Structure 1
Amino acid sequence: MYTATLDAPIEFLKGVGASRADLLKKELGISTYGDMLTFYPFRYIDRTRFYKINELNPDLPLVQLVGRITGKETIGEKHKKRIVAKFTDETGTIELVWFQSLKWVDDNVQRGKVYIAFGKPTLFNNTFSISHPDLENYPRPATVTGNLTLQPIYNSTEKLKKRFLDSKGIQKLQRLLIETHLREVPETLPAYILEKYRLAGRREALLNIHFPDNPSALQHAERRLKFEELFFIQLMLLNSKQVRTLKFKGVLFNSVGARVNTFYKDILPFALTNAQKRVIKEIRMDTQRGIQMNRLVQGDVGSGKTVVALMSMLLSNDNGYQACMMAPTEILARQHYASLVELLGDQLVKVDILTGSTPKKKREALHAGLEDGSIDILVGTHALIEDKVKFKNLGLVVIDEQHRFGVEQRAKLWRKNTIPPHILVMTATPIPRTLAMTVYGDLDVSMIDELPVGRKPIVTKHLFEGQRMRMFGFMKEEISKGRQVYIVYPLIKESEKLDLLHLEAGIEQMRYQFPLPDFQISIVHGQMPNVDKQFEMQRFIKGESQIMVATTVIEVGVNVPNASVMVIENAERFGLSQLHQLRGRVGRGAEQSFCILMSGQKLSKEGKLRLDTMVKTTNGFEISEIDLQLRGPGDLAGTQQSGVLDLKLADLVKDQVILQEARNMVKDIFEEDPMLELPRNSLLSAFLRRKNQGISFDKIS
């Protein structure tokens, strides 16, 4: 049923009103009582410790003292006016100073009375003072909502603070809400789950997250609410997977035919790694089950995902179905197309490409070829999802770098066949295990965790600006051996103009160090027309230029085995994942390759850790775990766009154990009760019904 009170607009809470409610919604996304209750403190101040005045030092953040007001005077005139009170305990005296609300202080702060003072101590002329301290009567009275031994601190904004909704103002609203409406909060987890994991009830958890009596109560509240967040994410993901399994039949790829066998035995120019063989076997088994495959293939840069995708598409062709491969950018789509053509030649199947820049006449021929079945494999960008693009019989869709596509875009591809095609998702961005369990929790995951035989690990060095001439000397050495070099500049402050100026300064330096006619330089950046980009890239690919100076447009999609050096300028400005992707542009041939990270002398602690990590390891999965710790889940793998990880309390780095417990619990529930029909799972089926109708979490009872 509907819990009307928790759905009540926040403006009806005493002390809020229409204008404050509007501000709370705009600034913090708080619209209802339920939203307010789940707006949690981001930290707590321990009010259990009382300092003596002689223990104070200016490095202490916030202190709590018990003492008596022994004197009070008003000093100064007009805007310099202030009230200074002497505050004394048995070990000494400090000053309490107020610059605002002077009338209130004059009327309410009494000489001779004992108070608890709380604030930041400052030392000036050998005297400690606290400006605008919190003052409470001593002893502190007990309250219904905890005695504030652990004081909650809430995020606020400048606009809210002007309307007296700083942390303390929000705390007052939370207290009022809990005192008047906590009893109406419904339980959302079945009793058997609470019992199994010894979790607090929801009301108790909400009380103790806002106003904990002690650290133990806070810990129990956090555990309960974190479990709840992660549990319901897993419930949605695994339910989605289950519904798809039950609802969507899959085309059957019963036989491995002539195309796969011929390619594997006669055309493939290298041996597959054991990891590639394992993943192909998993795909083969998926496509024989009669249900739609939804598999994620994770593989580090250069691990051979394209060959796995090609063999899967040939399997589709062998069974009478077409296949398509969708990439997020035209550069990457063209790179995939070139790789497939290079591997296949004009044998076995007809491969074609469709992008936004495909001419109209060519498009018409493409559309006809797709509809009559003469095109077996189509590579493309978002152009593939246009309504005009119709397949005769689409059996497999390969999506590269899925996180760059929206859910609706992907769904359009599913609808291009009567029976939804199998879905194979590829990513070269290694995803930490915990993130894969949440963002891709509804997919089966395969990992290609081996590099092809003969590939040498890339040697990575970190050089400072003062070592630039050494870097130029090394570049010249490699070019003299017939090798090629990338030099990549970052986007600075997301400004194309600044980026371009920075890039141009770098090009001037390059031309001075590497003059014509001995050296040719290709230049590629985001502001160039596609045709110019393609021209410059082709020059580099053909070996007509030795150096490519670029922005991050080459992060994915450029495969030049002869390029052996990647120089990344201002490397400290890049995230770990991006550095790893850029490094993966080299090391694609049999020769030893190098990555040089150039940085300024001054590095932040995080910047140093990122560069040290790159020097230490080439393992993308190790790098992804460190990246998760540094950046948090919201910035990785497009999770903000996907909307999956709307976590208010749980942390995927710190709460891996809780996540695993939650996922295991959901798996057990679906094994026992796939349709959630048992009475004890009624809360869970109600949650999914409400979610499907777009009704918020706190309206479930």
Structure 2
Amino acid sequence: MFDIDLSYLKINQNRIALLQEMGIMTIEDLIRFYPSRYDVILSVPPILVDEKTIFEGVIIEEPKIFFIRRNMSRMTFKVQYQDTSYSIAIFNRHFLRTHLTLGTVVTIIGKLQSPNQVVASDIKLQSLESLKGFHPIYNLKSGITVKSMSGYIKKGLTFVEKDLIDFIPEDLIQRYQLPYLKEALWQIHFPKDEVHLKQALKYLKYEEFLKFQMTLLFIKRNTHTIDVGINKTFDTPALHQYIYDLPFELTKDQISVSKEILQDIQSPHIMDRLIQGDVGSGKTVVASIAIYANHLAGYQSALMAPTEILASQHYRTLQKLFANTSMRFALLTGSLPAKEKKALYRQIENYEVDVVVGTHALIQDALQFKRLG
């Protein structure tokens, strides 16, 4: 949309370098860099131990800075709030020191660790009254403050707002009572109130899912018009026997989903399916039917899980399900010793393994399957 260099916003080159390290390369990246959360300041809350507290105080002791290690600093100073003085500690905000002079009014956001000690998560150089509202918090690199980030984003939005075009069609905006993109972007970064913030989130979430859905539709249409899959033939009676020998009867849904998957396996088109079901609903059994059909067609299979614990569980489950077959299984995870991993790679490449269960270690360049189906 706006592949425009950040230099057009007249941002310091050193700051641009920091933004680029955060993956912000263009003005579009900048205005689409959303807050991770918000500090909500509505009124003066009571000061409570171990609970979030926000209060206004006057600095009565100049800050001292201690560098714990190269990339971590601790700054301490004292403020007066009503009739009590509080010791304030804050980490990695040493660049604020020049602003924290004696007599300065600041707003402290943090937690009370003891009756007179506060560990601050943020320090605002303004009075509490002027801060009431929603304040965006961004995941930033050291050297860029929330205030400066908000300033950069405001510059970016001002620069492009006249050229913002809604991706969501007008009829859908009207049907679902969504704001327009311009308003959504301003309100996600500078919300007037909770109502405007929720409307902005509603638009941006809808936009994201609409783009995702259209991308999937595009991929599906392209893959179903080009014969890029492998149309496999397998021994249907042998597969039926495997299903018959299962220690339980398949549900109506499991049978229906399995039939659709088996049709895809026999088709020359790439299969793209998402099986949705609660824990214990039998998704792994459906996967095992696809794996066995693939095996009967003369191909290897891979089953990937997000963690080593889940991969180990699936490995054991499949071994039980195929206990009466001659299928050969292997478990491949990142923690496998290098020597064992190398030996396993050779077995997989030589088709000495029919099914490999593992984590993302399955998609490393070093791993080559002999005949992955």
Pairwise CA distance, 1:217: 0.7
Q: In the alignment, which of 178, 194, 215 is matched to residue 194 of structure 2?
A: 215
Pairwise CA distance, 1:37: 1.3
Residue 299 (structure 2) aligns with: 324
Pairwise CA distance, 1:310: 2.9
> Would you say the 8 A contact 1:324–1:379 is kept in 2?
no
Residue 357 (structure 1) aligns with: 346
Q: Is 1:19 matched up with 2:14?
A: yes
Residue 282 (structure 1) aligns with: 260
Pairwise CA distance, 1:17: 2.2
Measure the CA separation in 2 of the matches of 1:359 and 1:216.
56
Residue 61 (structure 1) aligns with: 52
Larger Rg computed on CA atoms: 1
> Would you say the 8 A contact 1:86–1:93 is kept in 2?
yes
Measured at CA, do residues 168 and 265 of structure 1 come closer, stay the same or move farther in structure 2, by a change above 3 Å?
closer
User: What is the SS of the residue equivalent to 1:274?
Assistant: coil
The one-letter code sitting in structure 2 at the alignment partner of 1:154 is: Y
Pairwise CA distance, 1:313: 5.0
Pairwise CA distance, 1:380: 4.3
> Would you say the 8 A contact 2:55–2:108 is kept in 1?
yes
User: What is the SS of the residue equivalent to 2:185?
Assistant: helix
Residue 226 (structure 1) aligns with: 205
> Would you say the 8 A contact 1:268–1:343 is kept in 2?
no
User: What is the SS of the residue equivalent to 1:212?
Assistant: coil
Q: In the alignment, which of 125, 128, 150 is matched to residue 134 of structure 2?
A: 150
Measure the CA separation in 1 of the matches of 2:238 and 2:159.
74
Q: In the alignment, which of 10, 18, 36 is matched to residue 6 of structure 2?
A: 10
Residue 136 (structure 1) aligns with: 126
TM-score, normalised to structure 2, is 0.63
Measured at CA, do residues 94 and 134 of structure 1 come closer, stay the same or move farther in structure 2, by a change above 3 Å?
farther
Measure the CA separation in 2 of the matches of 1:243 and 1:78.
60
> Would you say the 8 A contact 1:95–1:130 is kept in 2?
no
Aligned length, in residue pairs = 328
Residue 310 (structure 1) aligns with: 292
Pairwise CA distance, 1:306: 4.2
User: What is the SS of the residue equivalent to 2:38?
Assistant: strand
Q: Is 1:196 matched up with 2:175?
A: yes
Measure the CA separation in 1 of the matches of 2:348 and 2:268.
39
Give the 5 Å matches for 1:626-641: none
- Higher RCO (CA < 8 A, seq sep 6+): 1
Residue 46 (structure 1) aligns with: 40
Deviations 1:408-436 (A, max 9, x none): 999999xx9xxxx9x6xxxxxxxxxxxxx
Pairwise CA distance, 1:86: 5.4
Q: In the alignment, which of 330, 343, 350 is matched to residue 325 of structure 2?
A: 343
> Would you say the 8 A contact 1:11–1:20 is kept in 2?
no
Give the 5 Å matches for 1:204-283: 204-248=183-227, 259-261=235-237, 264=240, 273-275=249-251, 277-283=255-261
Pairwise CA distance, 1:355: 6.8
Pairwise CA distance, 1:58: 4.2
Q: Is 1:172 matched up with 2:166?
A: no
Residue 676 (structure 1) aligns with: none
Q: Is 1:36 matched up with 2:30?
A: yes
Pairwise CA distance, 1:11: 4.2
Residue 473 (structure 1) aligns with: none
Deviations 1:527-567 (A, max 9, x none): xxxxxxxxxxxxxxxxxxxxxxxxxxxxxxxxxxxxxxxxx
Measure the CA separation in 1 of the matches of 2:117 and 2:182.
43
> Would you say the 8 A contact 1:58–1:121 is kept in 2?
yes
Measure the CA separation in 2 of the matches of 1:139 and 1:235.
46
Pairwise CA distance, 1:243: 1.5
TM-score, normalised to structure 1, is 0.37
The one-letter code sitting in structure 1 at the alignment partner of 2:12 is: G
RMSD across aligned C-alpha pairs, in angstroms? 5.4
Residue 489 (structure 1) aligns with: none
Measured at CA, do residues 356 and 199 of structure 1 come closer, stay the same or move farther in structure 2, by a change above 3 Å?
same
The one-letter code sitting in structure 1 at the alignment partner of 2:145 is: D
User: What is the SS of the residue equivalent to 2:300?
Assistant: strand
The one-letter code sitting in structure 2 at the alignment partner of 1:63 is: I
Pairwise CA distance, 1:204: 0.8
Measured at CA, do residues 107 and 261 of structure 1 come closer, stay the same or move farther in structure 2, by a change above 3 Å?
closer
The one-letter code sitting in structure 1 at the alignment partner of 2:151 is: K
Measured at CA, do residues 287 and 86 of structure 1 come closer, stay the same or move farther in structure 2, by a change above 3 Å?
closer
Measure the CA separation in 2 of the matches of 1:357 and 1:74.
68
Identity %: 18
Pairwise CA distance, 1:300: 5.2
Pairwise CA distance, 1:249: 7.1
